[in-house]
Amino acid sequence: MDRLDRAIAGILASYEASGGVNHAAGPNLPSRSAVVQALRDIETLLFPGYREEEGIDDSNIGFVAGELVHRAAKVLVKECERSIEYRCRLEGKPGCPGAFNLEARDLVLRFFEALPGIREALMEDIDAAFRGDPAAKSLEEVILAYPGLEAIVVHRIAHFFWTEGLPLIPRMMSEHAHGRTGIDIHPGATIGRRFFIDHGTGVVIGETCVIGDDVKLYQGVTLGALSVRKDAGSAKRHPSIGDGTTIYSGATILGGCTEIGKGSVIGGNVWLTHSVPAGSKVYLPEGEGIVVELEPGKDPAPGACAS
């Protein structure tokens, strides 16, 4: 046995010792490449004519949309079926392929029924980006060239599957967007209407974060958790951001009990682990500690609870 053969034997031995093998002969996991393929078709449905396809006009748009729906649905049913089977394995519950298939078909049908509403929300996001960025010259530019919008598109799709209790697939979608844009939005985060991420690189939004309407984030913002135990993973660990809040680049807001009141402005590089009331301005003057300016008549918010 030469050195390469011995290396192969060592790799095979590590499979037995350490696990981490997804056997194709047994119950299989969803395919990441298939999920990304379906995601691309869904994005084309959302914005026909803006992706790689050609030749869409009023005479054939119905045919093109129908083909995309059927193609994406076929892939999604198969991958959702695998994901549902995986969920049953994790929970130690019995199940049969026929039941998995029926549940997957119903889930995918409900997703496509929900797609017009998702599209309506995304058109509001596009308008918010156009109105919120003086550099944006058109709505078309936002759709074609803004990484923040790309991340939001994928999040609104992935969030549907997350709220349906489907494991793995929403995370695959979100991580695909993360790799393309540098924006990391957990599919569990709840995000309101007219959301705008400007520039976007390095933005992190945690699983239990709740973001209101008309919120604007800049690059490098973290909406994260304070250090928590693994057994507290189901608790609310990430902050809540009120309507109309702007958070500037590099700001870090942590903790499940941290609430940012509506209409607040959080300055760049601020580190915040406590709540602030509506209309607050939180900033970090050079060489000084954090300053919180309140609207007249407002009382300071209580300190954050442990989370």
| Domain boundary pick from 182, 217, 233 | 182
Quote the number of domains for the chain: 2
Q: Which domain holds residue 166?
A: 20-182
* Cα gap 40→38, rounded to integer Å: 5
Same domain, 38 and 117: yes
Q: Write out 220-256 in H/E/C secondary structure.
A: CCEEECCCCCHHHCCCCCCCEECCCCEECCCCEEECC
Same domain, 77 and 118: yes
- Asked whether the predicted pLDDT for residue 293 surpasses 90, the reply is no
The answer to whether position 101 is within a domain reads yes
Query: Which pLDDT value is given to residue 243?
Result: 98
Q: What percent of the chain has pLDDT over 90?
A: 73
- What average pLDDT does the chain have? 91
Same domain, 149 and 231: no
- Asked whether the predicted pLDDT for residue 37 surpasses 90, the reply is yes
Same domain, 172 and 69: yes
Same domain, 160 and 177: yes
The answer to whether position 230 is within a domain reads yes
Same domain, 195 and 177: no
| Domain boundary pick from 163, 182, 201 | 182
Where does residue 200 fall: left (phi above 0), alpha (psi -120 to 50 degrees), or beta otherwise? Answer: left
Query: Which pLDDT value is given to residue 306?
Result: 44
- pTM for the complete prediction? 0.90
- Report yes or no: 223 and 239 within 8 Å, Cβ to Cβ: yes
CATH number at residue 295: 2.160.10.10
**Of the listed ranges 48-52, 121-125, 164-168, 300-304, the one predicted with least confidence:** 300-304
Same domain, 122 and 52: yes
The answer to whether position 13 is within a domain reads no
CA dihedral 44, 48, 52, 57 (to 10 degrees): 150
The answer to whether position 7 is within a domain reads no
Same domain, 86 and 171: yes
Confidence of residue 307 (pLDDT cuts 50, 70, 90): very low
Same domain, 199 and 101: no
CATH number at residue 116: 1.10.3130.10
- Asked whether the predicted pLDDT for residue 61 surpasses 90, the reply is no
Same domain, 115 and 173: yes
Same domain, 63 and 118: yes
The answer to whether position 14 is within a domain reads no
The answer to whether position 10 is within a domain reads no
Q: What is the mean pLDDT of residues 232-247?
A: 94
The answer to whether position 3 is within a domain reads no
- Asked whether the predicted pLDDT for residue 49 surpasses 90, the reply is no
Between these two residues, 16 and 139, which has the higher pLDDT value?
139
Between these two residues, 19 and 130, which has the higher pLDDT value?
130
Query: Which pLDDT value is given to residue 304?
Result: 47
Residue type, 198: D
Confidence of residue 299 (pLDDT cuts 50, 70, 90): low
The answer to whether position 249 is within a domain reads yes
| Domain boundary pick from 182, 215, 237 | 182
Query: Which pLDDT value is given to residue 108?
Result: 98
pLDDT digits (tens, 9 = 90+) for 179-216: 999 999 999 999 999 999 999 999 999 999 999 999 99
* Cα gap 136→132, rounded to integer Å: 8
Sign of CA dihedral 138, 139, 141, 146: positive
| Alpha-carbon distances, residue 178 vs 7, 181, 201, 212, 292 (angstroms) | 34, 5, 9, 22, 32
pLDDT digits (tens, 9 = 90+) for 83-112: 999 998 888 887 788 899 999 999 999 999
Which element (helix H / strand E) includes 212? none
Between these two residues, 298 and 136, which has the higher pLDDT value?
136
Same domain, 172 and 210: no
Where does residue 244 fall: left (phi above 0), alpha (psi -120 to 50 degrees), or beta otherwise? Answer: left
